[in-house]
Homo-oligomer: A and B are copies of this chain.
Amino acid sequence: METVPVWLRERRTGVGRPAERSRAEVTAAAIALADREGLAAVSMRRVAAELGTGPASLYRYVDSRDDLLDLMTDEMATEYRLPEPGGPWLPALLEVYRQGRAVMLRHPWLPELLLTRSALGPHSTELLEHVLAILAAHPAGAGRKLEAFAVMTTLTAALTLNELNASSGAPQRQGAYLAHAIAAGRHPHLTAALAGGPPTPAPRFEDTVSRVLTGLLGE
């Protein structure tokens, strides 16, 4: 029962044969592979091949595939370019999540990882610290602020995942059954909602985010 997260499991250096690669290198290779061929392609063998080594070598840098996924996720938090906290909190937080969406669009495998595992690494912690700084003057309690951070991460991932699914082949799969359900005629409200072809103007990302933010943190 290993309860220590990856980031606290540093190897001691200076003794024995030096490593030919680094944890960062392995992470970068996995990210490149995921960007190119999707998360399903990130197997230990494929990542190893990416680095020109055998699969067993990766276990010198990472304890398991799950560890590697956590490292990939946390690494994404380095792509934010955030201005110094200051000014009203709402536009500042909006900028944070706008950038979050941009990162996820660049790395389409990210939302799934963010939604299914809840690993807080060093870089994600930096991001949390930044959000808390933005909210420093906000009167809400610490519990509500932490909750807002968690909910907004989830919300951003969920909205972006929807966007990504919509722009790939998925709508046929999803829409096919809905069309059938409407044709069957037993869903009056659904029929009414989808009357005008596609789901009618989908709300803009920033619009939804700022609505939920004001809901979570008040005014």
Q: Are B8 and A176 closer than 8 Å at their CB atoms?
A: yes
Q: Is the CB–CB distance between B190 and A125 below 8 Å?
A: yes
- Pick from B116, B133, B177: contact of A7, CB under 8 Å: B177
| Shortest Cβ distance from residue A211 to the other chain B in the assembled complex, whole angstroms | 5
State which of B7, B115, B158, B218 has its C-beta within 8 Å of the C-beta of A150: B158
- Taking CB atoms, residues of chain B closer than 8 Å to A116 are 112, 115-116, 161
Within 8 A of B (CB), among A82-134: 112, 115-116, 118-122, 125-126, 128-129, 132-133
Report the copy number of this chain in the oligomer: 2
Task: Check B189 against A133 for contact (C-beta < 8 Å).
Answer: yes
Q: For the complex, what is the distance from the CA of A212 to the CA of B210, rounded to whole Å?
A: 11
Residue A19 lies at the interface, judged by CB distance under 8 Å to chain B: no
Complex Cα–Cα for A118 and B188 (A): 22
B-contacting 9-mer, from A22-30, A56-64, A199-207: A199-207
CB of A14 closer than 8 Å to a CB of B: no
Interface residues on A, range: 35 or more
Could you list 18 further interchain pairs (A-B, Cβ under 8 angstroms) beyond the known A136-B189, A142-B199, A155-B158? A3-B169, A4-B173, A8-B176, A8-B180, A112-B116, A115-B154, A116-B116, A116-B161, A118-B161, A121-B177, A125-B177, A125-B178, A129-B187, A129-B190, A141-B201, A142-B193, A158-B158, A212-B216
A–B complex contacts, Cβ < 8 Å, 25 sampled: A1-B169, A3-B172, A3-B173, A4-B173, A5-B174, A7-B180, A112-B116, A120-B178, A121-B177, A122-B177, A128-B190, A129-B187, A132-B192, A132-B193, A142-B193, A143-B199, A143-B201, A145-B193, A150-B162, A151-B212, A154-B155, A155-B212, A211-B218, A212-B215, A214-B215
